[in-house]
Amino acid sequence: AQSVTQLDSHVSVSEGTPVLLRCNYSSSYSPSLFWYVQHPNKGLQLLLKYTSAATLVKGINGFEAEFKKSETSFHLTKPSAHMSDAAEYFCVVSDGNYGQNFVFGPGTRLSVLP
Amino acid sequence: GAVVSQHPSRVICKSGTSVKIECRSLDFQATTMFWYRQFPKKSLMLMATSNEGSKATYEQGVEKDKFLINHASLTLSTLTVTSAHPEDSSFYICSARLTDSSNQPQHFGDGTRLSIL
């Protein structure tokens, strides 16, 4: 069965410093992986996706993620945090064995300090 | 592209009222839409998968008679919370996918905050 682990429930960084949000997954098949961001009382916005092409994926707003099959990881990074990056981030896995559905991680809340 | 509109954004109503939430794909056709519920500081919980022209598929533990889903067209799905009670208060989010492939992202609406008094 699929599952997603986000190792940190809360990450706090200073503005201008790097961001690392960790995600590990389990999947029986070649998975597709996604990162979404959710601002308060809003829906989810797609940051980036991995679908078996390049392992380093670049997304919107300067975010990127690297798919590492040997480590079953898909960590999200950004070189320099901005105040507007403060939000909830969800790592999501999807594979053909589970039909069309997404499996969400528990989320990581990112705080950006001035 | 791939914009999903959800309406209303917020509803406050009395216990016993039925509430309808609409989810529209504005610039694409979606044969499948999804309905989620999100509790405070929690992740999304899939309630049901809505298929155009057929019955929705509900997740285990979700009452189909309580949460009525209709997907009458390729751009509109509705969720009706029937005879709502305070325990139904939550944040409801819909999403849609351009194709039925598992490697395609879901595109989410902005959610509906439902408060039952």
Q: Each residue of A68-82: pLDDT tens digit?
A: 999 999 999 999 999
Distance (Å, whole) CA A114 – CA A103:
33
The encoded tokens of residue B93 equal 């989010």
Smallest CA–CA distance from B31 into chain A, residue = A100
Interface probe for A, chosen from B26, B98, B102 (most Cβ of A below 10 Å), is B102
**How do residues B4-57 score in pLDDT, each as one tens digit?**
999 999 999 999 999 999 999 998 888 889 999 999 888 999 999 988 888 899
- Provide the pLDDT for residue A97: 52
B60 contact residues in A (CB cutoff 8 A): none
Residue B32's pLDDT is: 87
Q: Could you give the CA distance from residue A57 to residue A76 in angstroms, rounded to a whole number?
A: 10
At B99 the pLDDT is 73
Beta bridge partners of B6: B23
Contacts of B104 in chain A (CB under 8 A): 32
C-beta atoms of B97 and A106 within 8 A: no
Please give the average per-residue pLDDT across B87-91, as a whole number.
95
Please compute the mean of the pLDDT values over residues B69-87 and round it to a whole number.
Answer: 93
Residue of B nearest to A50 (CA): B103
**Chain B environment of A100 (Cβ under 8 Å):** 32, 49, 97, 100-102
pLDDT above 60 (res A98): no
- Interface contact flag, A96 B34, Cβ < 8 Å: no
Please report the pLDDT score of residue A92 as a whole number: 94
Among residues of chain B, what percentage have pLDDT more than 90?
Answer: 74
The chain-wide mean pLDDT, for chain B, equals 92
Q: With cut-offs at 50, 70 and 90, classify the pLDDT of residue A99.
A: low
pLDDT at B72: 82
Residue B34's closest chain A neighbor by CA? A101
- Strands B112-116 and B90-97 turn out to be antiparallel
- Tell me whether residues B43 and A104 touch, CB distance under 8 A: yes
Tell me the average pLDDT across B64-71.
94
**Is there a contact between A90 and B44 if contact means CB atoms under 8 Å apart?**
yes
With 80 as the cut, is the pLDDT of residue A37 above it? yes
Write down the pLDDT at residue A96: 63
Residue A58: the pLDDT is 95
Top-confidence residue, A97 or B55 = B55
Min Cα separation B100/chain A (Å): 7
Over residues B81-93, the mean pLDDT reads 96
Neighbouring CB atoms inside 10 A of B112's CB total 23
Strand partners, A110: A11, A87
Asked whether B113 and A41 are in contact (CB, 8 A), the reply is yes
Contacts of A65 in chain B (CB under 8 A): none
Using the predicted structure, report yes or no on whether residue A100 has a pLDDT greater than 80: no
Cβ of B102 and A95 within 8 Å? yes
pLDDT of A31? 84
Q: How far apart are CA B45 and CA B49, in angstroms?
A: 12
Average pLDDT of the segment spanning A52-76: 93
